[in-house]
Amino acid sequence: MFKILWSTQPSLIMYKNTKKNLVKIKLLLAVLFSTICSQRIGAQEKTLDYFVGQAIHKSPLLFDYRNQAQSNLIDSLRIRASYLPQVSGMGTSSYAPIINGWGYDNTITNGANLSALVGVSQKLVSKQNLQNQYEAIRLQNQGLNVSGKISEQELKKTISSQYITAYGLSQQYTFNNEMLGLMKEEEAILKQLAEKGVYRQTDYLSFLVTLRQQELQIKQIKLQYQNEYASLNYLSGIVDTAFVLLPAPMLESVQTPALESTVFYQQFVVDSLKLQNSHALIDFSYKPKLSLYADAGYISSLMFQPYKNWGTSFGVNLSVPIYDGRQKKMQHDKISIAEKTREQYRDFFTAQHEQQIQQLQQQLKSADELIAEATEQLRYTNALIEANRKLLRTGDARIVDYIIAIGNYLSAKNSITQNTISKLQIINQLNYWNRK
């Protein structure tokens, strides 16, 4: 009994240890599998929104607009500070000697002068004038905001256009690869049939040439896709050399809003407000200016009781413009000319916008019709390929007919892809005008 217990106990321990090791191995494999999956998912998550977000985040132009707006806020604070009491210190010391009767007139120079003063000045400005200057800063920031939105929209359009181009090539790469896989399956069967004499060797070689052309076509498409994908990364400010197929861009055509409600029209509105503000600034600059001043300190010629020359002074400064050669009218005339130019640009832009939207909508309709026709053609060519595949395996179809059917299928599939890409590009251009 003792021997049996002694012999079975180690086996039980080994069994338990082995079971524990298996559990650890399973956990390790699970972690490894989840890591690989997460990496693949992370690589597949590079959608259009990802590239657009990266491009906006890294754009130096948009960063510049934000900094300019912050700088203008500092200018607004400087305007407020300039109308607060201004305190300054002043000091002079001079001596004008008379030697042998030669020198400056003592009546004017007093022989010597010494002064040390602290001065305070205060500009008096109306509330309307101050608000007008603040409005000029606010309009500058509003203009920067509009320019930033337009630049951001242009960046989205550029990135989306490049993404669509790269996506089209990725689709061509995918369906050409799928067709290559089917052709390789047929190649093995046709080789056996040719060896048995069912088909001529020349027919088999013709199919083999088509297969090699398909392989070469895939390599060319892959190279083009890598170049377009690299351009997409470059435009987005991303450093990445991995080969990743892009998912379909989630772009939908939406109703284009009225031009007056978009950011593109707001730039003309802001420009008009800026010109009106400039008129008001000119008017305020020609109004009387009043300021108060006061100083206190020491001024002395050091000639009589200099220790008593401590004192103070205060007063009022008034400036009234009378005549400047009609410069005020000239400045208003320049702004009026700028307003006419703005109106001309606005009217021309409005007419162009309406015409472009109509053209894009017409092109979108045509693209949908072409896609529908190509899809119908693809259905027939696909059925023809399937029929030829079945007949080839029994030796009842010509290889030449099968090659022609493959060419027709690829042509129809390529037509669908190209028209789909054209449709997405049109939608991208239409969506560009939707920014409010």
Q: Could you give the count of Cα atoms lying within 13 Å of 421 in the half-sphere of its Cβ?
A: 17
CB 247 within 8 A of CB 44: yes
For strands 112-124 and 310-319, give the pairing.
unpaired
CA-based nearest residue to 171, from 372, 414, 422: 414
Q: How far apart are CA 377 and CA 413, in angstroms?
A: 9
For residue 48, give both structure tokens. 């259009």
DSSP SS3 for 44? helix
> In total, how many domains does the chain have?
1
List 297's β-bridge partners, or say none: 117, 311
Residue 235 lies in a domain: yes
Residue 99 lies in a domain: no
Please give the chain's pLDDT, 436 residues, in tens.
333 333 444 444 444 444 445 445 544 554 444 444 444 434 446 899 999 999 999 999 999 999 999 999 999 899 888 888 999 998 888 888 888 878 777 777 777 888 888 999 888 888 898 999 999 999 999 999 999 999 999 999 999 999 999 999 999 999 999 889 988 888 888 888 888 888 888 888 988 999 999 999 999 999 999 999 999 999 999 998 888 899 999 888 778 899 999 999 999 999 999 999 999 999 998 989 889 989 888 888 777 788 888 989 889 988 899 998 999 999 999 999 999 999 999 999 999 999 999 999 999 999 999 999 999 999 999 898 888 888 887 878 788 888 888 888 889 999 999 999 999 999 999 999 999 8
- What is the maximum alpha-carbon separation in the chain? 143
The one-letter code for the residue type at 251 is L
Any residues with CB less than 8 A from the CB of 84 and at least 6 apart, and which? 122
Write 353-358 long-range contacts (CB < 8 A, 24+).
Answer: 353/259, 353/264, 353/433, 354/259, 357/256, 357/430, 357/433
Residue 121 lies in a domain: no
Residue 410 lies in a domain: yes
CB 332 within 8 A of CB 279: yes
Q: How far apart are CA 219 and CA 116, in angstroms?
A: 86
Can you give the CATH number for the domain in which 388 is found? 1.20.1600.10
Q: Please name the residue that has the structure tokens 């900094």.
A: 67
Residue 145 lies in a domain: yes
Q: What is the 3-state secondary structure (H, E, C) of 389-417?
A: HHHHHHCCCCHHHHHHHHHHHHHHHHHHH
Residue 386 lies in a domain: yes
Q: What is the per-residue pLDDT for 21?
A: 52
CA 268, chain centre distance (Å): 22
DSSP SS3 for 308? helix
CB 119 within 8 A of CB 85: no
- Integer angstrom CA distances of residue 1 from 9, 12, 14: 12, 16, 21
pTM for this entry: 0.81
Q: What is the per-residue pLDDT for 94?
A: 85
Q: What is the per-residue pLDDT for 330?
A: 95
User: Which structural domain, as residue segments, surrounds residue 245?
Assistant: 48-79+127-290+325-432
Residue 36 lies in a domain: no
CA-based nearest residue to 399, from 184, 201, 196, 177: 201
Residue 273 lies in a domain: yes
